[in-house]
Amino acid sequence: MLRTPIRRMATAARQSLKIGLIPADGIGKEVIPAARTVLEALGSDIPKPEFIDLLAGWEVFTRSGSALPEETVETLRECDGALFGAVSSPSRSVTGYSSPIVALRKQLDLYANVRPVVSVAATPEEKPAVDLVVVRENTECLYVKQEVLTHTAQGKEARATRLITERASHRIGKMAFDIALGRPRKQVTIIHKSNVLSVTDGLFRETVRGVPAKYPGQYDSVKLEEQIVDSAVYRLIREPEIYDVMVAPNLYGDIISDAAAALVGSLGLVPSVNAGDKFVMGEPVHGSAPDIEGKGIANPIAAIRSAALMLRHLGYAQGADRIDVAVDQVIREGQVLTPDLGGSSSTNDVLNAVLKKM
């Protein structure tokens, strides 16, 4: 079960939960409605949800010239939380286009992307073979998207600016330590490449290492380790059990969490939340999957689990637990699985199986 404690926002008692829904592109339009249905099925375990459908993505850009309408951002500021589906960002440069999910993370200051990767054990009592959390800094690194293409006598030359700041490194480090405090092993591993990038990764490494000293006594029970990113990926594949909470700059965190997803069977199982101090947005780790769009076979579990993570962040652990227990039962029984997990079930088949277990 993905009972990953993350920093819960201080919230007043609510009569309802206002949740923004941004399916965006591809299979996002299939898995986000499934997550909504599961939230609706929780009944009195959460305040009555009020859903607001919002626009963003490549398809919106092709129609309107904006991948992230200002109305979407302003509406989200009035919501308690949100769910984002997937975006079909082109691999080529398109004038005027920028990834809406990257923009949302920056505009709403969702500085942490928290990605639990947990295998489902054969029985509820057994320890999962893989049980780790990737805590990815969400606003900096190469994702500041400051790229320049110039022409030289030798041909084209492309340069990208990589930004690492002490402020961002400190707060993502503190988020990682806070998460580790709520887990049995209480271990944080810093992922970096400061043996080569001694200035940028060096600043990230030293800042995260310095977090406990700024909060005397608070993190004494947390064991701190570090790993060079390339060897971290190797060890992740060979011995995932050595990791508990992995904290990394933006790019490394993205790559590591996708690699970790292979250890539990599919990207279609791995959820995340984009979290800040004032807002949280669930987001399945998988992409828009254009090859299966519209076929009704997209795995909705990552989106459903992302909804549970969102609830947990908002303080509704009982509702989140109901979702996670139901999902675990469906996976454990192995009778209703989408093709990415070797089955032949549809998106709706999996949704209905989860609802039945709830």
Residue from 131, 178, 201, 254 carrying the catalytic annotation: 254
Residue from 53, 145, 223, 230 carrying the catalytic annotation: 230
- How far apart CA 240 and CA 272 sit, in angstroms, is 19
Phi-psi region of 146 (alpha: psi -120 to 50; beta: other; left: phi over 0): beta
Record the pTM.
0.91
For the chain, residues classed under CATH 3.40.718.10 are 1-110+276-358, 114-265
**Architecture of the domain spanning 1-110+276-358:** 3-Layer(aba) Sandwich (3.40)
| 345: phi then psi, degrees, rounded to nearest 5 | -80, 160
Residue from 258, 277, 321, 357 carrying the catalytic annotation: 258
Place of tokens 């965006």: 24
CATH homologous superfamily of domain 114-265? Isopropylmalate Dehydrogenase (3.40.718.10)
Residue-by-residue pLDDT tens, the chain, 358 positions = 555 555 555 455 678 899 999 999 999 999 999 999 999 999 999 999 999 999 999 999 999 999 999 999 999 999 999 999 999 988 888 899 989 998 999 999 999 999 999 999 889 889 899 999 999 999 999 988 888 999 999 999 999 999 999 999 999 999 999 999 999 999 999 999 999 999 999 999 999 999 999 999 999 999 999 999 999 999 999 999 999 999 999 999 999 998 998 999 889 999 999 999 999 999 999 999 999 999 999 999 999 999 999 999 999 999 999 999 999 999 999 999 999 999 999 999 999 999 999 9
DSSP string, 258-296: HHHHGGGT-GGG---EEE-SS-EEE--SS---TTTTTSS
Q: Which two tokens stand for residue 313?
A: 């962040």
> What's the pLDDT score for residue 7?
53
> What's the pLDDT score for residue 93?
82
Active site residue 230: yes
- How far apart CA 194 and CA 202 sit, in angstroms, is 5
> What's the pLDDT score for residue 13?
63
> What's the pLDDT score for residue 330?
97
Residues 6+ apart with CB under 8 A from 142: 160, 161, 162, 250, 251
Residue from 25, 80, 143, 174 carrying the catalytic annotation: 143
Going by the DSSP 8-state scheme, the letter that residue 199 receives in this structure is T
Q: Which of 304, 264, 270, 265 is nearest to 285 (CA)?
A: 270
Residue from 193, 219, 243, 328 carrying the catalytic annotation: 193
Active site residue 178: no
- DSSP H stretches of helix in 18-134: 28-40, 58-64, 70-76, 100-107
Quickly count helices (H) and strands (E) in the chain. 12, 12
CA diameter of the chain: 68
Active site residue 258: yes
Q: Are 323 and 99 in contact (CB under 8 A)?
A: no
